[in-house]
């Protein structure tokens, strides 16, 4: 790629086509690292939030720790901003190495977590690490996805555009309009990226792009699953407690509202959750969106990227997506070199206006195996269509058929202690509490791209029961072991450096490798429904024990290929103690097979890449030879 100095880039802002010599190949342009990182301006600004949610009579102050190129400021050159707004800068740290902010004697940050500052400040960007309301040095109280959190982060963008007041530590008013272009790109993994989703949903002017990585789109769907509590993640009150940095008692009222609002006893969707649902506000999004998510993320599950992506598509939001085979892992730690290069061009395009062609490239990158990637011009691919699979027979296993009809019925008795491993393994063995349906051995590859749904016609012996469905690929293969302790990666002892360093802040990070294992199966997607929430998530309706109900629910969205020679399986169980806390157990359910169907989004054969079309990123893998038990997930 051709690189050009930033001052030349600035002269090209607003130009959509760059002239090239006749018959010359298109020239890809990148901003160059022409500014000195070590001497960059470091400052702290206290931005006024529109809210006073700690009730002290003073609007909350959001701390924006800033680093920006000194030479640009001296020359009067305005720069755009990359911002990571996070609750974790002091309690827990960021990134694979859990870096925290380190402060100098004057109160400014001498060491920023992550590489964003090291890499992008020399290239003519400012970087802001903002403390969310009630965390680290910000005032107010953390309300976990609520108005204080979102409006506080939004206020920093408003300050950069001259719409709200910011002050320095001495209380003097500080303006950013002299050095900021007003354009902002928000980025972050997990909670940080969730904040980016929430701020984008406000439609704030100046936010040009967001890059949410493994991030929540609706807090209900993080803590709940169709009326049931997700026991694998931290509750809203516990997350508040984890990141709260205010003196004891300051945030008691907010903590109480969080405890009463999240409706743990019922699993209901209510106004508390509606206020934390960004999907419903997708029509307000003005920023472009680069979604990155692990298809095997068991913390922030795939429902979040799937429903957010669909809503963005419905509103014609410019977008791009990466889907990996890892769990809750940052792309910096599963595809580092390609990621940094792609992110560089993404920000150059959306924040500097460099016409580098990135929006003309394939919309999606999907990891097929460890470090083997396939691109799709659109996602889901053009021509993807719903195919119905019916459930036939009651043997072990039954048949999952793409034609014909289901008939007869089966009885399924709850087995509360049935683990996922026992539910899906050894499909030809009869086991209490589970029923397996399999396709015949596939004669050609099958690509599922999108959100599967399951419909069952059932009668329950109790007023409610959990209904669980899992998609499984059966066939021994070497796969990314997303259930290893690193969720598919292992941290090495070697390092690589990404950007410039100073005496207090280096740009070097430990390298990683993919962790793979050979296994006879892999769970591809999961989905759950509480029987008493079958008609509504806002209220419960008990099931009449003599009545059949037709119940439909979604599984987690995926883009996975089941290779020829393997089988696709559907596993039905009731209670699933690893993933949902059931409201009742011990039911016996009768399933009417004629009224039950699995619907799969199947990509056309042309969307399956030949080996020559697959890209391999210099694989570094560790074969661990085992399928490890699931490590405890953490929301970071």
What positions carry a catalytic annotation?
190, 297, 328
- DSSP annotation of 26: P
Distance between CA 65 and CA 69 in Å, rounded? 14
DSSP string over 181-205: EEEEEEEEETHHHHHHHHHHTTT-T
Q: From the DSSP assignment, how many helices (H) and strands (E) are in the chain? A: 12, 33
Distance between CA 588 and CA 416 in Å, rounded? 12
Task: Classify 287 in phi/psi space as left (phi over 0), alpha (psi -120 to 50) or beta.
Answer: beta
Query: Quick one: tokens of 472?
Result: 């499984």
| Cross-strand partners of 364 | 321, 376
Cis peptide bond N-terminal to 397, omega within 30? yes
Nearest CA to 340 out of 112, 123, 110, 130 is that of 123
Q: How many other CB atoms sit within 10 Å of the CB of residue 611?
A: 7
Give the burial class of 387: count Cβ atoms within 10 A of its Cβ; 0-12 exposed, 13-18 middle, 19 or more buried: middle
262 phi/psi in degrees, rounded to 5: -85, 0
Nearest CA to 575 out of 481, 477, 465 is that of 465
378, 598 contact by CB (below 8 A): no
The length of the chain in residues reads 636
Distance between CA 635 and CA 67 in Å, rounded? 27
Q: What is the CA radius of gyration of the chain?
A: 25
Please report which helix (H) or strand (E) contains residue 295, including its range.
none
Query: Which residues make Cβ contacts (< 8 Å) with residue 360, sequence separation at least 6?
Result: none
């Amino acid at each position: 790629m051709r690189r050009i100095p930033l001052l030349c880039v600035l002269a090209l802002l607003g130009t959509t086509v760059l002239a090239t010599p006749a018959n010359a190949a298109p020239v890809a342009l990148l901003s160059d690292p022409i500014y000195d990182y070590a001497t960059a301006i470091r400052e702290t600004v206290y931005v006024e939030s529109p809210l006073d949610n700690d009730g002290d009579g003073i609007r909350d102050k959001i701390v924006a720790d800033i680093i920006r190129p000194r030479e640009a400021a001296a020359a009067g050159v305005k720069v755009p901003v990359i911002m990571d707004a996070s609750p974790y800068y002091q309690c827990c740290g960021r990134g694979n190495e859990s870096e925290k902010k380190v402060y100098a004697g004057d109160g400014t940050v001498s060491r920023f977590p992550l590489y964003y500052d090291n890499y992008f400040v020399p290239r003519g960007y400012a970087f802001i690490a903002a403390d969310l309301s009630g965390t680290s040095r910000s005032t107010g109280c953390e309300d976990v996805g609520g108005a204080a959190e979102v409006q506080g982060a939004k206020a920093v963008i408003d300050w950069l555009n001259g719409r709200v007041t910011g002050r320095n530590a001495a209380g003097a008013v500080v303006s950013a309009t002299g050095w900021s272009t007003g354009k902002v790109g928000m980025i972050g993994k997990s909670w940080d990226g969730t904040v980016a989703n929430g701020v984008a949903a406000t439609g704030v002017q100046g936010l040009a792009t967001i890059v949410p990585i493994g991030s929540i789109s609706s807090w209900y769907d993080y803590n709940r699953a169709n009326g049931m509590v997700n026991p694998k993640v931290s509750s809203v009150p516990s997350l508040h407690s984890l990141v709260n940095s205010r003196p004891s008692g300051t945030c008691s009222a907010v903590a109480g509202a969080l405890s009463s609002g999240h409706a743990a006893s019922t699993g209901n969707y209510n106004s508390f959750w509606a206020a934390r649902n960004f999907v419903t506000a997708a029509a307000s999004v003005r920023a472009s969106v680069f979604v990155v998510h692990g298809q095997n993320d068991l913390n922030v599950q795939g429902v979040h990227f799937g429903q957010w992506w669909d809503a963005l598509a419905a509103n014609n939001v410019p977008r791009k997506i990466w889907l990996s085979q890892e769990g809750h892992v940052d792309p910096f730690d599963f595809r580092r070199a390609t990621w940094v290069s792609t992110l560089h061009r993404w920000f150059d395009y959306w924040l500097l206006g460099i016409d580098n062609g990135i929006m003309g490239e394939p919309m999606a990158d999907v990891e097929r195996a460890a470090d083997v990637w396939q691109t799709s011009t659109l996602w889901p691919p053009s021509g993807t269509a719903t195919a119905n699979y019916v459930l036939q027979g009651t043997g072990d296993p039954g048949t999952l058929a793409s034609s014909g009809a289901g008939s007869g019925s089966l009885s399924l008795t709850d087995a509360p202690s049935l683990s996922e491993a026992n539910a899906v393994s050894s499909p030809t063995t009869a086991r209490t509490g589970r029923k397996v349906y399999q396709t015949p051995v596939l004669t050609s590859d099958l690509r599922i791209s999108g959100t599967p749904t399951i419909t069952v016609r059932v009668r329950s012996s109790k007023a409610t029961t959990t209904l669980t469905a899992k998609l499984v690929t059966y066939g021994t293969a070497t796969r990314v072991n997303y259930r290893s302790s690193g969720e598919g990666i292992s941290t090495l002892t070697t390092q690589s450096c990404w950007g410039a360093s100073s005496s207090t802040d280096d740009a070097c990070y430990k390298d990683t490798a993919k962790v793979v294992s050979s296994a006879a199966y892999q769970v591809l997607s999961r989905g759950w429904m509480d029987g008493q929430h079958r008609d509504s998530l806002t209220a419960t309706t008990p099931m009449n024990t003599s009545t059949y109900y037709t119940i439909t629910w979604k599984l987690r969205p995926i883009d996975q290929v089941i290779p020829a020679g393997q089988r696709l399986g559907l596993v039905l169980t009731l209670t699933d103690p690893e993933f949902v806390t059931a409201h009742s157990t011990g039911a016996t359910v009768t399933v009417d097979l004629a009224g039950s169907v699995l619907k799969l989004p199947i990509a056309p054969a042309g969307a399956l890449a030949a080996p020559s079309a697959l890209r391999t990123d210099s694989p570094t893998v560790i074969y661990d030879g085992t399928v490890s038990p699931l490590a405890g997930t953490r929301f970071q």
